[in-house]
Amino acid sequence: MQSQGFVQISDKDLTEIELHSVDSISDLHRTHPEQHGKGSRPPRPRPPSINGKLQTLDRPVACQTGHRMRTSRLKQLSSTCVPFTWRYSVACVAVILVLITLILIFSFLVQQSRALHTLSEMVSQRQETAEEISILVQELQDLRRNLTTSRDRH
């Protein structure tokens, strides 16, 4: 049996492991922003230089140029909340516009109903008035006949 001992790890390997860990944590934070803790993110260690050149791993262009990407938690939260808030606001505005349209249509229909009711009352009153006038005209004609026949008798 061989005895297990400690394996010697070089500084370069440790740096690579640290970089890989930081990248994994960063990816986790990017994919699950709601699970961030309250602590600050640890700074990313620089990769070891080979032949005096700085290694660039899979970093964004802004990081490759040497500019540090600064994103606060507020910006991350607002960038994830803005689309939801925007969709929610648009949905609210759409619902309000539909409700206003329905109210306007309903009030227009009520107004038209009242106008039709008033118009039908006026038509029925005119019909009654026309019937009364035709009865009066008939009575006048009867009275005229009676008068003319009574004059002819005298």
pLDDT one-digit tens code per residue, 58-112: 444 444 444 444 556 656 656 666 777 888 889 999 999 999 999 999 999 999 9
pTM of the complete model: 0.36
For the chain, give every domain's residue range.
8-70
Give the range among 13-17, 113-117, 143-147 with minimum mean pLDDT. 13-17
Q: What is 134-147 written as a DSSP string? A: HHHHHHHHHHHHHH
pLDDT of 146 > 80? The answer is: yes
Query: 58-65 contacts: CB < 8 A, separation 24 or more?
Result: 58/23
144-to-131, 133, 140, 151 alpha-carbon distances in Å: 20, 16, 6, 10
Which stretches within 32-72 are classed as H helix?
61-64
Contact 60, 69 (CB under 8 A): yes
